Structure 1
Amino acid sequence: MTTSISEPIERRIRAEAETLGFDVCGFASIEQAWPAAARLAEFVEAGRHGEMAWMETTRARRAHPKAMWPGARSAIVLGVNYGPEADPLAILEHRSRGAISVYAQGDDYHELIKKRLKALARWLVAETGCELKVFVDTAPLMEKPLAQSAGLGWQGKHTNLVSRAFGSWLFLGSILTDSVLAPDAAETDHCGACRACLDICPTAAFPAPYQLDARRCISYLTIEHAGPVPPEFRAAMGNRIYGCDDCLAVCPWNKFARASREMALQAREALKAPALADLARLDDAAFRALFAKSPVKRIGRDRFVRNVLYAIGNSADPALAETAQALRDDASDVVRDAAAWAVAQLAKPRDGKERSVSLSPIAPGLR
């Protein structure tokens, strides 16, 4: 797309963003009140943030975009489509395979977005001389309500952003600037009476529409929660070993979304439907090699293998019993606990009664 220097800066920014690979770009004023701060306070005060202590310690900085930078006047909010090519829920039927959330099947999207944001920021400074700051979701800036203000979508009943063009599949990034940009109209809520995202949640993590209790969320439990997962949630995790796409994938607005060719090219075959038996055998070095440049890497081998063992316990596949048994002497407490649970689960027939599982002696090299 070509533009001229006489065109409005907002149009020129959109054109440059498109050139850099962003799928959508919107503008919001940040001079107004910020009702999202009250919702965040209720969330934290109810303890629904679980072990994510950073949500409490950074609460004041999240209270308003200006708390991040008092000189900011406007926000540029950008989105990258990561719509999957196939149904992300199909893998849940293959219980001896691990389900890794769509966004984590390739390189870390934070790095992808950050490079593009910085390139756009450099261009904007050169064009206008403005001051600005760049944010991906690792910073304490509430990007979903900001994206709604900029017209990119609305926060659905599952609390994630929903777009009429991209469904529930948008990565977000933001630039705060001291320039005054013409704001776009805020998007309105189009969820209507639909509650598909609430009803599909395996652990009933939504106490009410637009409210999330992270302590029950499988994404939280598999990624942020460090210790053993509470027993009442383990069976509901199924074979989800990193994140959970259920509430996103079931959204009816996804029918207007399109698959992202870029994300399809980045996705690694080894992470689309990995065998649980192979993943359970990963030591620290092998884990780091497999998940190099992946967001999965940050949770570490022990937490990841813990998740794999819960999936093994839910697999109903007696052939995986020896794999779990081999980890009962693992150096990690959390892995040993998960291995014992998996072995016990595989010893139960479908009627819930104990049955014997034939296990070979543990070879010395597997201890």
Structure 2
Amino acid sequence: MQGMRLGANAIDLFRLLSVFFNRWYRSVDKPLLLSFFTISIISLTLISSAGPVIESRVMLPKDYFLLRHLTYLCIALGIVVVYSMMNERLIIGTSFLLLFTCIVLLVYIAFWGVGVKGSKRWFFFLGLSVQPSEFAKTVFSIVNAWVLCRVRGKLRYVVSTAIYIVLVSLLLLQPDLSMFIMFSLIWGSQLFVYGISYISILAIMAFFLVGLLLCLFLFPYTKERVMTFFDPANHDHFQIWNSIRSFKTGKILGIGPGEGVVKLLLPDCHTDFIFSVAAEEFGAMLCMLILFILGYIATRAWFFAYSESDLFKLLSASGLFFQFSSQFMINVGVALNLLPTTGVALPFLSYGGSSLVSTSIMLGMLMAFYRMRSLERRIKLDA
């Protein structure tokens, strides 16, 4: 009797999940979902090639990075599904909660965090390392959009600026110049889209430039990276030289999976320079496919923002667009020696749970906005 009840409960649960999945699949933005699955397969292929080099270097078990990356991808898929089903109120509520949590963690890291490679960016908990700034940059787009739309009068600018200054101040204490640049791009772009005056835009640009100059004087490693970019002959440009070499070696079709040499020389081949691994082993063809998929996701965000009449969704989508597009363009720019080394991860491809999960939140939010708009159009047609 007990077995029959368990069997009936299992059948009911299966039916419930089937109904949920069917509803979700009918309403979800399928091109974005296909992009996620395609880029995930590519990322697994690249991590399976670059991971063993790092594993042997730091004495880790076989397939350590591949298995962890696969776990992160499963978590990321769950997050994409959950966020894509959220309504506007839930997205705003979770964004405020996440941003508050990230600020608390950033304060803790700034004063009591453990330094890794000269910076304090990670919160260590139960054997896991979490980078709060990765999550903060995604939800900041939503919170800042809400502030600009819902807070009345000039107070909206005060609140928006205060949140931005708190975040970038905590980032500079780490220090993390790349995140400072990304938060500034998100904040400045949303204010520009909102429609602030040209004088205010010039003031923001001046503040941004002053911040960059201060970083050059205050943080020696930042100055060294910039000097290496502009004067490579007199500075250590080992990583960039090898990255460029990978593109020359790979040519059109690459030298074959697992056959790359550059990954043996680059200390961060599985994170910051994963694009270089793709170039050497799979050639320009895979690099173009990666850029096409990432560019497509960014373009979907841009076209949604461009065609959206609701101000909150417009600002949110524009913030997510600038966050995502700037992140992958900075990473690729560094790999091609078009920008100084920054340490920005390539979305969905670089190894790292924080980057992958935060980017999945961004994708889930974008899919939720598309779902809400399609539902609104159906309601109008039915009416």
Q: Same fold (TM over 0.5)?
A: no
The structure with the greater share of residues assigned to strand is 1
The structure with the greater share of residues assigned to helix is 2
Using CA pairs under 8 Å that are at least 6 residues apart, name the structure with larger relative contact order, 1 or 2. 2
